[in-house]
Chains A and B, each alone.
Chain A
């Protein structure tokens, strides 16, 4: 997708490319507490491999921040720290002003994550996968859970697939089910780990629109890790470029485009427009 065209469409106001709007049932249910994220001096090593070497990042409430970087620079590890799946060697992560690694930390917000591998439960149907959080925490009765699940599946373009097992879905469809699962948690902060890898251009656009819708209509704080430069510039309020365990540039899409740093330009310039190596 051409970046300029994307930006223009974005300005026209969250127009979904496929004409699909937010499911009304889910729209009425989603309410964001607008939490900010503050990462200070985050360091993490796995043995001799120093993955994160002092990450500082501020994400304002309701903002969508995209983290860009080459493979193996620690993007996914950073997300795993934010959601609490990894403990840092040093540094702190504040979500809504509270340090999530503080022993006295009491979770007052919901953070959900769309995993790169989708991480669907193969023994459960699509409906059971999406509704698992609501069912396990007994948030609503079965009827309301079913409605919310249907609405979430409609948003990701999988209406009518409730009874299918994950093994029958393509990689892209699994990713969309994982997105629906993350949405029904009614998150205050949502993390996307490579949300469009393996998706066709049409579905990539749908995911991009969905992220924009969540930002514009619900004001959910979002952190997106991706390699997809078009998607990054389409959805981001701010972009962070991660290189060798450090954030080397952080700013608005315009700041990043104008950045003179060679590493940044090399990463954001379409590869086939660069001279042959």
Chain B
């Protein structure tokens, strides 16, 4: 019974925080400095590690699929396979997991520490709404940064696939053939599909991590627990929503 109550309490809390954050988005233009600070942390500082992950993910896709396709005599389709896999699924999910682990955890730790050490209370006593001041900039920055990061990781992942396809003796596919096939199969709809998912995952990660952080009470131990909880919950929700968003996009013919 407690588990059921806790589920509804957390779900209600997340929805309520999302609604309040959306309301405070009206103050975004007056808080561009805070949003750009967050964009720097969430977007810019994630680029090197994002590139590394994408490069090797694209490479491993080509490494796995290339020889099999070559045995069937259709190795020229490696470009399309890597391209579509990255654009529709791997790009948004990988970027989201990277952001949840790298940025979401820091977000939760910072807000949890502020809760524990009465900084959130201090904001309230100054009539500064914590959602406007702390959550809204992180929310907007995550929702803006994640789709851009997905595009960036897609492009680098494609390149990784192209390099592996070219140097793998079982495939030996030229860059031009690889990219021609990729361009034939990855259309604008597929691209939008990935970006829609990235935007939704950005909402999930920022709201979950901020919610868990703001609700933390206790001391240093609880801050650590909160970070683990936020990251795990973000991962789970990203993967669950990935399925349902894909179903919805299929229903509307966008997949």
Listed in ascending order, the chain A residues whose CB lies under 8 Å from chain B are: 80, 83-85, 107, 111-113, 115, 117, 119-123, 132-133, 136-137, 185
Residues of B within 8 A of A132 (CB): 126, 128
Q: Is the CB of A113 within 8 A of B117?
A: no
Q: Is the CB of B125 within 8 A of A85?
A: yes
Residues of B within 8 A of A112 (CB): 125-126
**A120-B128 Cα distance, complex, nearest whole Å:** 14
A-B interface, 4 closest residue pairs, ranked by CB to CB distance from nearest = A119-B122, A119-B118, A133-B126, A115-B118
The answer to whether B187 has its CB under 8 Å from any CB of chain A is: no
Residues of A within 8 A of B125 (CB): 83-85, 111-113
Nearest-neighbour CB distance to chain B for A114, whole angstroms, equals: 10
The answer to whether B184 has its CB under 8 Å from any CB of chain A is: no
Residues of B within 8 A of A123 (CB): 110
Q: Is the CB of B118 within 8 A of A117?
A: yes
**A137-B123 Cα distance, complex, nearest whole Å:** 12
Residues of B within 8 A of A115 (CB): 118, 121-122
The answer to whether B124 has its CB under 8 Å from any CB of chain A is: yes
Name 15 interchain pairs, CB-CB below 8 A, sorted by A.
A83-B125, A85-B121, A107-B127, A113-B125, A119-B119, A120-B119, A120-B122, A121-B114, A122-B113, A132-B128, A136-B126, A136-B128, A136-B133, A137-B127, A185-B126
Residues of B within 8 A of A83 (CB): 125
Residues of A within 8 A of B122 (CB): 113, 115, 119-121
B:114-149 near A, CB below 8 Å: 114, 117-119, 121-122, 124-128, 133
**A194-B113 Cα distance, complex, nearest whole Å:** 21
**A119-B117 Cα distance, complex, nearest whole Å:** 6
**A228-B251 Cα distance, complex, nearest whole Å:** 69
How many contacting A-B pairs (Cβ < 8 A)? Answer: 41
Residues of B within 8 A of A121 (CB): 114, 119, 122
For A134, give the chain B residue with the smallest CB separation: B126
For B110, give the chain A residue with the smallest CB separation: A123
Q: Is the CB of A85 within 8 A of B126?
A: no
**A196-B62 Cα distance, complex, nearest whole Å:** 66
Most buried by A among B122, B124, B128: B122
Nearest-neighbour CB distance to chain B for A34, whole angstroms, equals: 20
**A112-B123 Cα distance, complex, nearest whole Å:** 11
**A122-B111 Cα distance, complex, nearest whole Å:** 11
**A40-B114 Cα distance, complex, nearest whole Å:** 32
Nearest-neighbour CB distance to chain B for A269, whole angstroms, equals: 32
Q: Is the CB of A133 within 8 A of B128?
A: yes
Residues of B within 8 A of A107 (CB): 127
Among A111, A119, A122, A133, point to the contact of B121 (Cβ < 8 A): A119
For A182, give the chain B residue with the smallest CB separation: B125
Nearest-neighbour CB distance to chain B for A116, whole angstroms, equals: 8
For B120, give the chain A residue with the smallest CB separation: A119
Residues of B within 8 A of A84 (CB): 124-125
Residues of A within 8 A of B124 (CB): 84-85
For A136, give the chain B residue with the smallest CB separation: B128
Residues of A within 8 A of B118 (CB): 115, 117, 119
**A116-B162 Cα distance, complex, nearest whole Å:** 60
Most buried by A among B113, B121, B124, B128: B121
Nearest-neighbour CB distance to chain B for A222, whole angstroms, equals: 15
For B126, give the chain A residue with the smallest CB separation: A133
Binary interface profile of B, 86-117, with partner A (CB < 8 Å = 1, else 0)?
Answer: 00000000000000000000000010011001
If A85-B124, A112-B125 are given as contacts, then 12 extra A-B residue pairs at C-beta distance below 8 Å, sorted by A number, are A83-B125, A85-B121, A85-B125, A107-B127, A115-B121, A119-B119, A120-B122, A122-B119, A132-B128, A133-B126, A136-B133, A137-B127
Nearest-neighbour CB distance to chain A for B113, whole angstroms, equals: 8
**A85-B133 Cα distance, complex, nearest whole Å:** 18
For A178, give the chain B residue with the smallest CB separation: B122
Nearest-neighbour CB distance to chain B for A77, whole angstroms, equals: 12
Most buried by B among A113, A132, A136: A136
Nearest-neighbour CB distance to chain B for A95, whole angstroms, equals: 13
**A37-B121 Cα distance, complex, nearest whole Å:** 21
**A113-B118 Cα distance, complex, nearest whole Å:** 11
For B116, give the chain A residue with the smallest CB separation: A117
**A112-B128 Cα distance, complex, nearest whole Å:** 12
Nearest-neighbour CB distance to chain A for B119, whole angstroms, equals: 5
For B117, give the chain A residue with the smallest CB separation: A117
Residues of A within 8 A of B113 (CB): 122
**A84-B128 Cα distance, complex, nearest whole Å:** 14
